[in-house]
Amino acid sequence: QVQLVQSGSELKKPGASVKVSCKASGYMFAAYGINWVRQAPGQGLEWMGWINTNTGKPTYAQDFMGRFVFSLDISVSTTYLQISSLKAEDTALYYCATSQGYWGQGTLVTVSS
C-alpha cells in the first residue's frame, strides 16, 4: 500500500536550519509529485509548493520562496524539505502529500531559544 513516512520531530534554535524527509513506498516514486503543506499550531492548512519527482523541479508558493528548498533522492524514493534561517513563526507541523491524495504523518518543527 502507498505510504509516506516522515522523519521525526525537530527542536531548533532561531537562525539554525532543519531538513525534513519524506520516504515514499508502495508505488512508483516518479509517478506522482510530492507536495508540502504547513500547519501552524491550531491553524489550517497552507500549501508550500511541490516537487516534480520526474524532473526534480521544485515550485514554491509565494510565501515560501527564499528560505525553503525542496529536493529529492530518487535512489531511496525520498523527498526533502530544508528550511534555513529558522524563525519562531516556522514552528509548525509539516506534511508531505502525493498529488494522488496520500499524506505523510507530519513532522513537528519547533523553533525556540
Partner 1 sequence: DIVMTQTPLSSPVTLGQPASISCRSSQTLVHSDGNTYLSWLQQRPGQPPRLLIYKISNRFSGVPDRFSGSGAGTNFTLKISRVEAEDVGVYYCMQTSQSPTWTFGQGTKVEIK
| Nearest approach, Cβ of residue 40 and partner 1 (Å) | 12
Nearer to partner 1, 15 or 26 (CB): 26
Among 8, 41, 44, 66, binds partner 1 (CB under 8 A): 44
Shortest Cβ distance from residue 89 to partner 1 (Å)? 19
The residue range among 12-20, 67-75, 76-84, 101-109 that interacts with partner 1, by the rule CB under 8 A, is 101-109
What are the start-end ranges of the E strands in 1-113?
3-6, 10-12, 18-25, 34-39, 46-51, 58-60, 68-73, 78-83, 92-98, 107-111
- Indicate the SS3 state at residue 53: coil
Q: How many CB atoms lie within 10 A of CB 62?
A: 6
Decide if 5 contacts 15 (C-beta within 8 A): no
Residue 102 interacting with partner 1 (CB under 8 A): yes
Q: Could you say which of 18, 21, 29, 33 contacts partner 1 (CB under 8 A)?
A: 33
